[in-house]
Amino acid sequence: MLERFDGIQPHHLLGLSVRTMVTEPVFVGVADGHPAVRDGMIDLADLAGCEWVLPPPHENAARIRFLDACESAGFTPKVRHYTSDAVTARAMVEAGCVCMAAPSFRSSGGVSAFPLRGDPLRAEVLFAMRANDTLDPTDRFFHCAALAYRAGVAANPHFQRWWDEHPQEHAELDAAITTGANTDP
C-alpha cells in the first residue's frame, strides 16, 4: 500500500496499476488529558499555541497540506522538533508536544490520537501492483489488502467512530471486502 504524495498523481507511477483504497483523515497525537480534546475531537485552531513534532521536511509528504490546514485555521504551527522515530515522537508528545498521527494509532503510554473536526487533513491510501502481474487478478489482491486495512480500524476507538460516521469515505473498500468474500479462492 502507498500514500499519495503531494503533486504526484497515480498515473505517474509507471508500470503500476494503482487503485485508491480509502481517503482517510489525519489524526493528531496528544498527551492524555490534553485540553484541546472535546467530545473525542480536536479543533485544529485549538492547537495554535502548541509545539509540534513532525517528520523531517524531506520525509514529510503531508507537509504542504498540513501548513495549508493550519493557515486556514488561522495560525502558523510552531514546528520545534523533527524526528522519524516513533518512540522519540511519542516521548515528545508525552512531554506536551502534538503530532500528526495515523488514524489507526493505538493509544498507550499516555498518548492518544484524535480526529480533527472537519477533517482538514486527509491522505489517500493507494493499492498498487505491477501492471503486468498476471499471478492473480487485481481484485483478489485488493480484497486481501482491504481486509488487512479494515482490521486496523478498531485499533483506535476514535477511528472506529469516524469510520462508522463516514461510510461514503470507504465505500470502495467495503465493496471489495463484500465482493471478495463471495469469490472462491
Is residue 122 included in any domain, yes or no? no
Identify the residue whose cell numbers are 480509502: 22
Task: Round to whole Å and give the CA distance between 117 and 113.
Answer: 13
Query: Would you state the pLDDT for residue 43?
Result: 98
Q: What is the mean pLDDT of residues 52-57?
A: 90
Better pLDDT: 12 or 125: 125
As a three-state string, the secondary structure of 55-79 is CCHHHCCCHHHHHHHHHHCCCCCEE
Q: Which domain, by its residues, includes 157?
A: 2-23+127-181
User: Of 156, 184, 183, 172, which is closest to residue 22 (Cα–Cα)?
Assistant: 172
* Number of domains within the chain: 2
User: Of 31, 45, 109, which is closest to residue 77 (Cα–Cα)?
Assistant: 45
Q: What is the pTM of this model?
A: 0.83
Last residue of a domain, one of 114, 135, 158: 114
Grid cell at residue 140: 483478489
Q: What is the mean pLDDT of residues 91-114?
A: 93
What percentage of residues in the chain have a pLDDT greater than 70? 85
Residue 135 has pLDDT above 80, yes or no: no
Compute how many other C-beta atoms are within 10 angstroms of the C-beta atom of residue 38.
11
Domain identity same for 98 and 141: no
Domain identity same for 29 and 95: yes
Residue 38 has pLDDT above 90, yes or no: yes
- Whole-angstrom CA distances from 21 to 61, 152, 155 are 18, 14, 18
Residue 115 has pLDDT above 90, yes or no: yes
Domain identity same for 84 and 34: yes
Query: What is residue 23's three-state secondary structure?
Result: strand
For residue 155, which phi and psi values (nearest 5 degrees)? -65, -30
CA 70 to chain centroid, in Å, comes to: 17
Last residue of a domain, one of 90, 114, 138: 114
